[in-house]
Amino acid sequence: MTVSSARPGTATPLDLGALRSRIHGRVIGPNDDDYEAARTVMYGGIDRHPAAIVRVAGVDDIRVVIETAREHGLELAVRSGGHSAKGDSTTEGGIVLDLADMASIDIDPATKTAWVEAGASALAVTEAAARHNLAIGFGDTGSVGVGGITTGGGVGYLGRKHGLTIDNLLAAEIVTADGELRRADADTNPDLFWAIRGGGGNFGVVTRFQYRLVDLPGIVGGLLILPATAETVQRFMELSEAAPEELGTIANVMPCPPMPFVDEKWHGAVVIFGLMCWAGDAASGEETLQGFRDLARLGGLDAPIADMLQAGPYTQMYPPEPDDYHPLAVSLTGYLDKVDRATAETIMDRLEALEAPMRAVQLRTLGGAIARVPDDATAYAHRTSEIMVNVAAFYEGDHDKAEKQAWVEELMAAIHQSDDGAYVNFVGDEGEARVRAAYPGGTYERLAEIKRRYDPDNLFRLNQNIPPA
Ligand SMILES: Cc1cc2nc3c(=O)[nH]c(=O)nc-3n(C[C@H](O)[C@H](O)[C@H](O)COP(=O)(O)OP(=O)(O)OC[C@H]3O[C@@H](n4cnc5c(N)ncnc54)[C@H](O)[C@@H]3O)c2cc1C
């Protein structure tokens, strides 16, 4: 898919030499050797050609990029980790403001806080904090950039115990559309602070975040693969909901990948690919985790298909990722109230019915500390949603994309219950109604009003966009 580089009729050509003379970091253009690598984002199927990718070195560079995009009427993409499913961190013909070289991490063990530049990855921050037996919760994938995950909310293993990433955000610094560097915290620009905790990239370029860290000397966790039946899926979710808040789980109901430590007879069979994280005292977690292991018997086995649960640092929840992973995927996100037997049966039936090497229903139990924050305290307004569900399928190309898309849509419709919300960081290119679904209960209107104050011309529009009120 291509997107226009600017509002029609307004773009003027970009002089890369002139831009380079003003930038302390690096300006990568189409003739540079690393242009191909620099224009590649995480998801496959996003093939755009920016006029320039600017690896900014600091606030001055960010100001120059903003000014240049404005002057030339060019579309501006902001990139931290490059994981946007919608492809918002690249542009056809515009400028990419890439924060990858602004990735410093400054941990203060005495106050248990950290200043982290937006280009750092979730893994890098987790590793740095773990050296002091401290942690902050991001998501399930280490390569995700803190810039994108934090501004959207941040749903991960530590959520039930310690809240979303934004619930541990103390302050941020952000360059707004007028080129001003502003601080945002509870007392300074509180409207902006509210908006960037869930409102995504609509309000400017966050240069750095200050996080509160929690004590976490270690966890017990990892991968637990169980047989998937409607009964085991339902029971897995009941156990997750009833477990102490120290437990974070992700149940990926999907075909078992051909992992070397898994008996070949399971390769390709639909299983519960469970990701488990007990962030508490190891001994007291044993009983809770044993309950999940025992689900193997409910599925007709003596033991789990794979049991990799072990004590270790929290970093072990972020296993190594291949550099060249660029999947072609279609997906939809939503929330469920409960995975009852009928829902679990529908999930199993539909997963069995599709031919695709990778198709998955991902279930995440929420609640706990996430639900203790009022809906209107931040721009993430799904505090009482019980379970996050993501349905995804990989496709090979144009010939099977529509089929996979239809499967995802039909499955999501079949399991829909009372909750119409959507988590903004998992929404794709789905139109305005879905952006509104991400911001229920007056949140959208409040964000639009703040957008009017900080970005009246909608310069930052490559995102789940909220046009200025
Ligand atoms: C494999 C995978 C696993 C994931 N798992 C989880 C998960 O467990 N939990 C979860 O909550 N999310 C998860 N996500 C979603 C993820 O949080 C979003 O895709 C997020 O936007 C990615 O951030 P990024 O910086 O890597 O992406 P980018 O593509 O660089 O940025 C995405 C958007 O975020 C905004 N943005 C990025 N940086 C800044 C900044 N510095 N200032 C202002 N705006 C900015 C921009 O609008 C940008 O278009 C996952 C995504 C993937 C691909």
Q: What pLDDT is stored for residue 464 in this prediction?
A: 98
Confidence of residue 198 (pLDDT cuts 50, 70, 90): very high
Amino acid 9: pLDDT: 52
Report how far ligand 1's centroid is from the alpha carbon of 339 (Å): 27
Residue 348 Cα to ligand 1 midpoint, Å, equals 29
Strands (E) located in 2-154: 26-28, 52-55, 76-79, 95-98, 105-108, 113-117, 134-135
Side-chain half-sphere CA neighbours of 393 within 13 A: 24
Q: Tell whether the model's pLDDT for residue 25 goes beyond 80.
A: yes
CA distances from 284 to 240, 258, 287 (A): 15, 33, 7
- What is the structure's pLDDT at 79? 98
Determine the atom of ligand 1 nearest the C-alpha atom of 42.
53
- Asked whether 299 and 229 are in contact (CB, 8 A), the reply is yes
What is the pTM (predicted TM-score) of this model?
A: 0.97
Measured at the CA of 286, the angle between CA 281 and CA 292, to 5 degrees, comes to 130
Residue 432 corresponds to which amino acid?
E
Q: Indicate which atom in ligand 1 lies nearest the CA of residue 165.
A: 11
Task: Answer whether 90 contacts ligand 1 (Cβ < 6 A).
Answer: no
Chain centroid offset of residue 26 CA? 27
Q: Is 154 in the pocket of ligand 1 (CB under 6 A)?
A: yes
pLDDT tens-place string over residues 115-146: 999 999 999 999 999 999 999 999 999 999 99
Q: For the chain, state the CA radius of gyration.
A: 22
**Would you state the torsion angle of the CA atoms of residues 94, 45, 142, 117, taken in this order, to the nearest 10 degrees?**
0
Confidence of residue 291 (pLDDT cuts 50, 70, 90): very high
Indicate if ligand 1 lies below 6 Å from the C-beta of 78: yes
* Ligand 1 site, residue 137, Cβ cutoff 6 A: no
Task: State in Å: Cα 451 to ligand 1 middle.
Answer: 20
Indicate if ligand 1 lies below 6 Å from the C-beta of 139.
yes
- How does pLDDT run across 215-239, given as a tens digit for each residue? 999 999 999 999 999 999 999 999 9
- Determine the distance separating the centroid of ligand 1 and the alpha carbon of 165, expressed in angstroms: 12
**174-183 pLDDT, tens per residue?**
999 999 999 9
Residue nearest to atom 46 of ligand 1 (CA): 201
Ligand 1 test: best mutation among 89, 174, 275, 455, most atoms within 8 Å of CB? 89
Which pLDDT value is given to residue 386?
98
pLDDT given for residue 6 in this prediction: 47
Provide, rounded to the nearest whole percent, the portion of the chain with pLDDT above 90.
96
For ligand 1, the distance from its centroid to the CA atom of residue 312, given in whole angstroms, is 27
pLDDT at 167: 98
Nearest CA residue ID for atom 8, ligand 1 = 139
Cα 155 to averaged position of ligand 1 atoms, centre (Å): 11
The CB of 362 under 6 Å from ligand 1? The reply is no
Cα(140) to ligand 1 centroid in Å equals: 12
For ligand 1, mutation pick of 66, 79, 250, 275 (most atoms within 8 Å of CB): 79
pLDDT class of 2 with cuts at 50, 70, 90 = very low
For the CA of 77, the nearest atom of ligand 1: 49
Q: What is the pLDDT of residue 51?
A: 97
Pick the atom of ligand 1 nearest to 147's CA. 38
Under a CB-based contact definition with an 8 Å cutoff, are residues 198 and 421 in contact? no
- The amino acid that residue 9 corresponds to is G
Over residues 174-195, the mean pLDDT reads 98
- Measured distance between the N- and C-terminal CA atoms of the chain, rounded to whole angstroms: 28
Nearest ligand 1 atom, CA 118: 41
**pLDDT value at position 10?**
63
pLDDT digit string (tens) for 408-442? 999 999 999 999 999 999 999 999 999 999 999 99
Q: Is 150 in the pocket of ligand 1 (CB under 6 A)?
A: no
Cα separation, 370 vs 379, in Å, equals 13
DSSP 8-state class, residue 34: T
Distance 150 CA to ligand 1 centre (A): 8
> What distance in Å separates the CA atoms of residue 257 and residue 73, rounded to the nearest whole number?
46
439's tokens: 């911001």
Going from the Cα of 246 to the center of ligand 1, the distance in angstroms, rounded, reads 25
- Tens digit of each residue's pLDDT (9 = 90 or more) over 235-268: 999 999 999 999 999 999 999 999 999 999 999 9
Ligand 1 close to Cβ of residue 161 (< 6 A): no
Q: Report the residue count for the chain.
A: 469
Confidence band (pLDDT; 50, 70, 90) for 31?
very high
Alpha helices by DSSP H, listed for 200-358, are 230-242, 282-293, 295-298, 341-353
> What are the angstrom distances between the C-alpha of 224 and each of 44, 289, 295, 307, 344?
28, 10, 11, 5, 19
12: confidence class by pLDDT, cuts 50, 70, 90:
confident
The token pair that represents 433 in the structure block: 């109604």
pLDDT tens digits, 299-339: 999 999 999 999 999 999 999 998 889 999 999 999 999 99
Q: Decide: 366 in ligand 1 pocket, CB within 6 A.
A: no
The answer, yes or no, to whether any atom of ligand 1 lies below 6 A from the CB of 140, is yes
- Averaged pLDDT of the chain: 96
Probe target for ligand 1 pocket from 54, 62, 78, 173, with the most ligand atoms within 8 Å of CB: 78
pLDDT tens figures, 75-93: 999 999 999 999 999 999 9
DSSP lists the bridge partners of residue 115 as 106, 210
CA of 426 to the centre of ligand 1 (A): 9
As a whole number, mean pLDDT of residues 382-401 equals 97
pLDDT digit string, tens, across residues 42-70: 999 999 999 999 999 999 999 999 999 99
Report the share of the chain in percent with pLDDT over 70. 98
Q: What's residue 1's pLDDT?
A: 30
Closest residue by CA, ligand 1 atom 38 = 147
User: Ligand 1 atom 47: the closest Cα is on which residue?
Assistant: 201
